Each structure stands twice: as structure tokens, then as C-alpha cells.
Amino acid sequence: MNKFWAYLKTKQFRNNLLMAIGSVFLVVLAVFFGLGIYTRHGEGIPVPQLKGLSVEKAMDILKEQGFEYKIDSVYIGDQPPGAVVEQDPDPGTNVKENRTIYLTVVTRLAPNVELPDLEPYTYREAVATITNYGLKVGDTIYKPDIARDRVLEVRFAGQVIKPGTKIPKGSKIDLVLGNGGGASEVDIPDLVKQDLDAAKFVIKNGGLTLGIITYQGAITDSASLVVVGQSPMKTDSLTKTSNGTRINLTVAQGKKSDVPN
């Protein structure tokens, strides 16, 4: 034991101890700087700003700067299809070359949704339900029915559709509502010689429904059209029709003064 303590006091032990400490220090330095060189510590490329760009433009930029990319899609009705709405990492973040950048892009095709059952609902209830399903209200059409503002039919692209029908999200659907007047009758208006816009106004406000518009002759200016025929037409023997009746119109190019008597 005395020899061990005596050895600890010798110059040889001190030299060996200093050499061991120095070796450990050199190993730590080598590992530290080696990892820094291997991982290129402190080096990186800033991620470009990609939000708002088209997906094609964003991909071109990433390719030019040596990035990889992956794309996910989402449907957003008020955003242009193909636009980048999210990116990860955020713009300006320093990353290594060949890093994968994740993009979220607005899909070009709207997903389908099933039409809910709206016929038991009032107009306000139907609008709230339609909005929750990602759909929009188009035209409202009134038909004779004792239930005022109650949904009687739902139409899409001019066709009656039933609950469960799949239509693209964001589509406009038309609602046929009861007018609360039952099977009451209204006067048939005389629309011949009227401007088309004026005729539409009279039909809508007269409790009737605009039917098929037939164009007669060459049409060069859609803003200058007059009615030259209608069906049903007011006659001495026929002056009234059911509330909500469809009025079909024949229109021609010209002004009211151009229509022959």
C-alpha cells in the first residue's frame, strides 16, 4: 500500500495522467469537429416562400434549389384550384439540401357530398343545412302550396334531385318553396313587345315561373331582346292561371318599337 502511494507521487505517474487527460481531450475535440463537418453544422438553404403560388411554379422553384417535395390536396371553395395554401417548413427556415418540403394544394376537383333531406325544412333551416354541407343556394322558386316557405323540391342543373344524391361540393342548388297561397290563380300578363328583362321581372313578381326562352332569328346583342311570343298567352277566354305556372317566352333581336303589331 505504501508503494502505491509512493507511485502516485512520482513524476512518471504525473506524466501518464497528463497524457491520459490530453488524449481524452483530443478525442472529444475530434468527435466535436468531426460531427460538425459531417453534418455541415450551421450550413443550410432558406426555404422559399411558396404560399399563394401555383403548384407548378412552386415545384419549379424547389427543383431549382435542390429540394425534394411531397404534395397533399385539400378542397377550399374560395381558393383557386392548384394554389399552394400551406407549406412545411415555413418560409425562411434554414434546412439542408435535398430536404423534403411538404405542400398543401387546393384540389382541382371538388369532392362529392350527399344532398341532405331538405323537404321537411323551412327556407331558413334549409339554408343553414346547405351551408353546413358545403353547398350554396341558387334560385328560389315558389309554387302554390299551403305551407309557406316550406321546401317542396330541390333542383340541380335544372333537374329535380332527391336526398342522398351526390353532387360536387360548392355547387349551387335551387329550392322550390311553397307560397302559402294554395291553388290560387293569378292574372296572365301580356308580355309581348316587352323587353326580356322587364318580362322576367313581371313573371317573378306576378307569382309565376319563368319557363323556356326560345330565341328567334339572329341574336347579335343579348342586351336588346324583346318578347315576340309567350305561352300561355292571355286571351278573351283565358285570363288567369295557377300560381307558379311556367311562362315560356319567344324573344327576338330588337327594341320594343321594332316589334310588329
**Distance, CA of 210 to CA of 245 (rounded, Å):** 8
Predicted local confidence at residue 81, as pLDDT:
85
Name the amino acid, one letter, at 55.
V
Predicted local confidence at residue 43, as pLDDT:
59
Q: Do domains 45-106 and 112-178 have the same CATH topology?
A: yes
pLDDT tens string 48-97: 999 989 999 999 999 988 899 999 888 777 788 889 999 999 988 888 87
Predicted local confidence at residue 207, as pLDDT:
77
Say yes or no to pLDDT of 256 above 60.
Answer: no
Residue 219: Cβ within 10 Å count? 12
Rounded to the nearest 5°, which phi and psi values hold at 9? -90, 0
- Looking at residue 254, what DSSP letter applies? S
Q: Which CATH class is domain 185-258?
A: alpha beta
Architecture of the domain defined by 45-106: 2-Layer Sandwich (3.30)
Most confident of 37-46, 162-171, 175-184: 162-171
Helix/strand/coil for 85: strand
What pLDDT band is residue 260 in, cutting at 50, 70 and 90? very low
Residue 180: Cβ within 10 Å count? 15
Helix/strand/coil for 120: coil
Say yes or no to pLDDT of 32 above 70.
Answer: no
The total number of residues shown for the chain amounts to 261
Name the amino acid, one letter, at 142.
Y
Predicted local confidence at residue 80, as pLDDT:
84
What pLDDT band is residue 259 in, cutting at 50, 70 and 90? very low
Predicted local confidence at residue 235, as pLDDT:
87
Locus of grid cell 443550410: 44
Closest CA to 247 of 210, 213, 216: 210
**Distance, CA of 248 to CA of 243 (rounded, Å):** 15
What pLDDT band is residue 243 in, cutting at 50, 70 and 90? confident
Question: What is the domain partition of the chain in residue ranges?
Answer: 2-33, 45-106, 112-178, 185-258
Average pLDDT, the chain: 83
pLDDT tens string 185-198: 788 999 999 999 99
Strands annotated E in 115-208:
136-143, 151-156, 159-160, 166-168, 172-178, 185-187
pLDDT tens string 88-143: 999 888 888 788 999 999 887 778 899 999 987 999 999 999 999 989 999 999 88
- What percent of the chain is modeled with pLDDT above 90? 39
- Looking at residue 133, what DSSP letter applies? T
Buried b (16+ CB within 10 A) or exposed e, 41-63: eeeeeebbebeebbbeebbeebe
Architecture of the domain defined by 112-178: 2-Layer Sandwich (3.30)
Q: Which three cell numbers stand for residue 34?
A: 468531426
Say yes or no to pLDDT of 164 above 60.
Answer: yes
Residue range 164-175: mean pLDDT, rounded: 91
Rg (Cα) of the chain, in Å, rounded? Answer: 38
CA distances from 40 to 32, 36, 65, 152 (A): 12, 6, 17, 69
Locus of grid cell 328567334: 216
Residue 202: Cβ within 10 Å count? 16
Say yes or no to pLDDT of 170 above 90.
Answer: no
